[in-house]
Chains A and B, each alone.
Chain A
Amino acid sequence: MLSFLIARQTGVDEPVRLRRAESTRRVLSLELNHDRDVECIHGNGINTIDIEVIEGRYMLSGGSDGVIVIYDLENNSKKPHYTCKAVCTVGRSSRYVHKFSVETVQWYPHDTGMFVSSSFDKTMKVWDTETLKPAEVFQFEGNVYCHHMSPIARKHGLIAVGTKDPKVQLCDLKSGSRIHILQGHRGEVLSVKWSPRYEHILATASTDSRVRVWDVRRASGSLFTLDQHNGDKSKASSESVNTAHDGRVNGLCFTDDGLYLLTAGTDDRMRLWNSATGENTLVNYGKVVNESRKGVKFTVSRGCSPEFVFVPCGSSVAMYGLHTGELVTMLRGHYNNVDCCEFHPDYQELYSGGKDCNILAWVPVLRHPDTEDEGADSRQLFSTFFTLWTALD
């Protein structure tokens, strides 16, 4: 690590290299920390977590009891032991609380004054954070499995909603209209995600084993469907031609640069796709246990040099290398199934929530000072620097 610091100091390397190297080292050393806790408010399982993008300070969580909680992740007490307190909650006593389980919550991408939650009570509510009252309620005919707002959109304020209906609905925040629908799927839509690179590209995953990528400006159907065999019709049995998975596709995640899309399905497989061409990169992650009847919310690390995927697998979170497909480690700590996980890019921390009503914080282990370095005199220091200089070539 010293070589990275010296290279940055002398200008041999760009500053971002040191940052990436240190981020990767931190992500590789994630573990449960005694000093970090998240207050336990939910009485039932936690289905979804979202950390706001602007400051990375507030975290939203939605539970199976319909309760929505906002936590403050910042440690203002001077002590190392810190419990992330709940700032406010939309509890069972609130008049506007969801009647059934909240499936997805998301902060408004541009500020924390607003957030959107969707639930199995067939509604999607747009909440005002200040008053905790819904500013807008969208009613649907079937259970709402997921929704997503584009994190980079400037020209539109569309929320893509996946429900029991095979049609993907786009609700406009600016006008309140919901006439725009995307037709093409033949089963329930379990997951929707906007691309973080292009504000008009949307990916949707459905129980008909297909993943479709849409450009919402186009009047006709989807741009393309992801095919796990890359067009090689001979490999599949005739039913699984042109499908992304051999079972229901219930998880979608774009990488931070938007160049790759990860999908997870109930055939216990996870696949990495090139999001521009729809080509299966054929990275083999092995068996990624997936028995979820609804969507699986997984996440990709940001700012590291080999990126990592964090997938909830049973009662632990599995960490895979993104492009190599090797299992780096299993993060064990939950007592029951893990349903969702979210990566905090600024501190390289992972928050995961599950059926055991806990949100666990996985924090990188702090580097301990090496006992050998203490008491080094100047000559020793010089020789260390010298060997590092030669190592830089």
Chain B
Amino acid sequence: MNRKRTLMPDAFRTKKRRFGADNLIGNPEHGDVQEGPPDVKATLQYLMTLFPRKLFNDSLPQIVLKHQLYSLHSDKTLVDKQVNELRDQGELLMFQLGFDSDTFALVFSVDYRAKVLAGEAGRATLGTVEKFLDKVLPCCSDLSFSKDKMLKQFLFTDAEITQLVKSGVLTVRDAGSWWLSIPNSGRFTKYFIQGRKAVLGMVKKSKYNEILKTDLEERRTTSHVKLHMKYHVHDIIGAELVECIQTTSGTLLRFVDT
């Protein structure tokens, strides 16, 4: 089949597209690109299963990075739109993790609430945190809050804001403004960056700086890689740190030198 023809949209196709061995219309479980309109919620739920809860003693909600969705769906704009819709409905929360201005973490609101309240149980700051979760999160889907907003719009006092920062729900951004954050997520960020570096190193060290995706997923992970290998693979593909090339033996990941 002439490869050029696959680039033309339906209006110009003279023959029906033949489904060959390399056109796998798989479930997200197979890690292949989906056909048709992307179902972001289902993909999110699949990616959440890759998050290791045991590693953090169940104290963290399941975190997925926004760009991991791009590795499973080809149309980035539609994915962004659906994520924003879910955020507006209040089902999804987005966070800035702090190590890259472009990387966003996604957590289901239900999970977040459960874990934060569980972490706060028995502490003095429980009341303030509950108030914050009930008042602020349902109505405001911002990533950061300024002092003005906290004091005037949501009527928190300075002491309460300090309590929120102590509990980990807010992190300092700069003088007078705070990022919304996940309590105890520092370890996650550390393991994530470490693991990403290690996985990229594996790709780089391979011959010709490229490796088949299935091979990479089966490699024995060093002690530096604490999160699931598939989690990291989705991350490096989505962040375009490796180039995805379709071959007859499957997907090839080639390191992108920038």
Contacts and interface: CB of A to CB of B under 8 A. Distances in A.
B142 interface: yes
Interface stretch (A71-79, A106-114, A169-177, A284-292): A284-292
Task: Name the interface size band of chain B.
Answer: 20 to 34
Given A28-B12, A287-B240, A282 B101 contact: no
B177 A238 contact: yes
Contact of B75 (A31, A282, A287, A325): A325
A286 B4 contact: no
Contact of B74 (A236, A283, A326): A326
A274 B177 CA distance: 30
Contacts of B96: 235
Contact of B76 (A24, A306, A325): A325
Interface in A1-55: 1, 21, 24-25, 28-29, 31
Contact of B101 (A240, A324, A325, A329): A240
Interface in B102-152: 102, 142-146
Nearest to B240: A287
B7 A328 contact: yes
A286 B174 CA distance: 29
Contacts of A21: 11-12
A370 B2 CA distance: 14
A16 to B, nearest CB: 15
Contacts of B102: 246, 267
Contacts, number: 66
Contacts of B142: 232, 234-235
A235 B7 contact: no
Given A25-B8, A31-B4, A238-B173, A284 B80 contact: yes
A378 interface: no
Contacts of A246: 101-102
Contacts of A371: none
Nearest to B8: A28
Contact of B173 (A237, A291, A329): A237
A291 to B, nearest CB: 8
A286 B240 contact: yes
B240 A325 contact: no
A289 B4 contact: no
Interface string B66-102: 0000100011110111000000000000001000011
A365 interface: yes
B222 interface: no
A392 to B, nearest CB: 13
Interface string B223-258: 000000000000000001000000000000000001
A329 B7 contact: yes
Interface in A246-269: 246, 267-268
Nearest to B81: A282
Interface residues of A, number: 34
A326 B145 CA distance: 34
Given A232-B142, A237-B173, A286-B240, A326 B75 contact: yes
Contacts of B143: 234-235
Given A234-B145, A236-B101, A238-B174, A29 B70 contact: no
A267 B70 CA distance: 18
Contacts of A31: 4
Given A282-B80, A324-B75, A325-B75, A29 B173 contact: no
A25 B79 CA distance: 27
Interface string B141-173: 011111000000000000000000000000001
Contacts of B144: 233-235
Interface string A277-302: 00000111111010100000000000
Nearest to A236: B101
Given A1-B12, A21-B11, A25-B12, A237 B101 contact: yes
Interface in B5-46: 7-9, 11-12, 14
Q: Which of A232, A234, A267, A325 has the most CB of B within 10 A?
A: A234
Nearest 5 A-B pairs (CB), nearest first?
A: A234-B142, A284-B76, A287-B240, A234-B144, A325-B77
Interface of B: 4, 7-9, 11-12, 14, 70, 74-77, 79-81, 96, 101-102, 142-146, 173-174, 177, 240, 258
Given A28-B7, A233-B146, A328-B7, 20 more contacts: A21-B11, A24-B12, A25-B8, A25-B12, A28-B8, A233-B144, A234-B145, A234-B146, A235-B142, A235-B143, A235-B144, A236-B101, A237-B174, A238-B174, A268-B258, A282-B80, A283-B77, A284-B76, A284-B79, A285-B76
Interface of A: 1, 21, 24-25, 28-29, 31, 232-238, 240, 246, 267-268, 282-287, 289, 291, 306, 324-326, 328-329, 365, 370
18 contacts: A1-B12, A29-B8, A234-B142, A234-B146, A235-B144, A237-B173, A238-B177, A240-B101, A268-B258, A282-B80, A284-B77, A284-B79, A286-B76, A289-B258, A291-B258, A326-B74, A328-B7, A370-B14
